C-alpha cells in the first residue's frame, strides 16, 4: 500500500538588503533566507528562517498551512504561525554600553485566495492579522493585499520572466497606509538558480519607514517528492492451512501430539519445469534436503549448490 505523495521543497535566497513589507521588520543589510515547505496535498509546514550575512538571526516564522479549497483553477488556503523577530538593543552593564539580542514574539493568521485565469496569469487576495505577544515595537498588524502573477514571459531562448505586482493596505497599531511593490524574477529553463529584483514603494502612509526600499537577490530552488510504502504482511500460515493448501487433507493426529513431524518426497526440479514459489510467513519450521547442482534464490540472495544441501526456514519456502 502506498501513501499519498509528500514533498520537501524550498528556496535559499542571498540578497544585498533584507527588507520587509512591514517597515519595522526590515533588516537593512545583506541577508540570507531559508524558505522551506514540507507536506502533502492539503497540509504543509513552511518554516521561514532568515539571517543576516554575519550569521546573526533576523526572524524565524513557522507557518502551518491548510488548503481548504483546491481545484484546477481556484485555491483557498488558511494558515497560522508563531514568529520570532530578533533585534539588538543597547543595554548598560556595570556602567558600560553593551549590545544584547532580544526576541520579539508574534502570533499571526492568514487567509489566501488565488484564481488562475490562464497558464500565464493569476490573481488573488491575501489577508494577515498579527499580534505581538512579547514585543518591543508594534503590537497589532493588519495586512490586506491584491496579488497577481504574470509568468512564463518568453525573452530569449530558454530565459523567462515572472512578475509579481502587489497593491496592499497596511495598518500597524493606529497608523496605516497604502503601498505597491513587485518582484521581477529571471529564470532559465530547469536551471535551479534565479535572479530577482524587488522594490516596495509607499503611496500614502502614516507608518514610519522609507518611502522606497529595494533589493537584488539570487535564488536557489529545490524540490523533492516522495511516497511511503507500507508492506502489509500476511498472517502466518498454520499447519492446518498448509495441509489444506498443499494436499487438501489434514492428518487425524495433527493436534493430538505435543509436536508434529512429517516427511514429503518432492518432484525433481528440472530445468524449464520449475515454478515460482511465493514467499509466505509460517508458524512452523521446514527442512529441505536436496542433492545435485542447483541455484537457490531466497529474498535478494542467491546460493550456488554443487552437490548436496539443506535449507531450514520459516518465513518462506519452496514447498
The arithmetic mean of pLDDT across residues 275-283, rounded, is 65
Question: Do 174 and 60 meet the contact criterion of CB atoms below 8 Å apart?
Answer: no
Backbone dihedral angles phi then psi of residue 207, each to the nearest 5 degrees:
-75, 130
pLDDT classification of 4: cutoffs 50, 70, 90: low
Domains located in the chain, CATH noted: 6-226 (2.40.160.40), 239-313 (no CATH)
Each residue of 76-97: pLDDT tens digit?
Answer: 999 999 999 998 878 777 778 8
Q: Which of 222, 215, 164, 155 is nearest to 188 (CA)?
A: 155
Rounded to whole angstroms, the Cα distance separating 88 from 109 reads 26
The values of phi and psi at residue 199, to 5°, are -140, 150
Stated length of the chain = 319
Q: Which pTM was predicted?
A: 0.69
**Residue with the larger pLDDT of the pair 259 and 103:** 103
At 295, is the pLDDT very low, low, confident or very high (cuts 50, 70, 90)? confident
Tell me: the pLDDT tens digits for 16-46?
Answer: 999 998 888 899 999 999 999 999 889 999 9
Angle at 150 between CA 146 and CA 156, to 5 degrees: 160
- Cα distances from 194 to residues 136, 221, 286, in angstroms, run 36, 8, 62
26: three-class secondary structure by DSSP = coil
pLDDT of residue 212: 94
The cell 488556503 sits on which residue? 77
**Bigger pLDDT: 278 or 122?**
122
Amino acid at each position: 500500500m502506498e501513501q499519498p505523495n509528500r514533498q520537501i521543497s524550498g528556496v535559499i535566497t542571498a540578497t544585498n538588503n533584507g527588507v520587509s513589507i512591514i517597515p519595522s521588520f526590515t533588516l537593512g543589510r545583506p541577508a540570507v533566507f531559508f524558505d522551506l515547505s514540507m507536506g502533502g496535498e492539503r497540509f504543509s509546514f513552511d518554516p521561514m528562517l532568515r539571517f543576516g550575512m554575519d550569521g546573526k538571526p533576523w526572524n524565524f516564522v513557522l507557518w502551518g498551512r491548510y488548503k481548504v479549497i483546491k481545484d484546477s483553477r481556484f485555491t483557498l488556503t488558511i494558515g497560522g504561525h508563531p514568529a520570532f523577530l530578533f533585534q539588538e538593543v543597547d543595554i548598560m552593564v556595570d556602567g558600560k554600553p553593551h549590545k544584547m539580542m532580544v526576541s520579539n514574539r508574534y502570533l499571526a493568521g492568514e487567509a489566501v485566495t488565488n484564481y488562475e485565469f490562464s497558464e500565464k496569469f493569476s490573481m488573488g487576495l491575501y489577508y494577515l492579522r498579527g499580534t505581538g505577544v512579547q514585543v518591543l515595537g508594534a503590537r497589532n498588524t493588519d495586512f490586506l493585499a491584491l496579488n497577481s502573477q504574470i509568468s512564463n514571459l518568453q525573452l530569449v531562448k530558454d530565459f523567462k520572466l515572472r512578475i509579481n505586482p502587489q497593491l496592499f493596505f497596511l495598518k500597524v497599531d493606529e497608523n496605516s497606509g497604502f503601498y505597491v511593490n513587485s518582484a521581477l524574477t529571471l529564470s532559465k529553463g530547469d536551471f535551479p538558480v534565479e535572479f530577482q529584483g524587488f522594490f516596495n514603494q509607499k503611496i500614502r502612509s502614516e507608518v514610519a519607514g522609507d518611502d522606497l526600499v529595494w533589493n537584488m537577490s539570487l535564488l536557489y530552488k529545490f524540490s523533492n517528492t516522495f511516497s511511503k510504502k507500507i508492506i502489509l504482511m500476511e498472517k502466518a500460515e498454520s499447519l492446518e492451512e498448509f495441509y489444506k493448501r498443499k494436499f487438501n487433507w489434514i492428518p487425524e493426529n495433527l493436534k493430538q501430539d505435543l509436536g508434529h513431524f512429517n516427511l514429503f518426497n518432492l518432484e525433481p526440479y528440472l530445468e524449464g519445469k520449475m515454478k515460482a514459489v511465493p514467499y509466505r510467513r509460517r508458524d512452523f519450521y521446514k527442512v529441505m534436503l536436496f542433492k545435485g547442482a542447483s541455484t537457490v534464490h531466497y529474498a535478494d540472495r542467491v546460493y550456488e549448490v554443487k552437490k548436496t544441501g539443506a535449507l531450514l526456514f520459516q518465513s518462506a519456502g519452496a514447498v
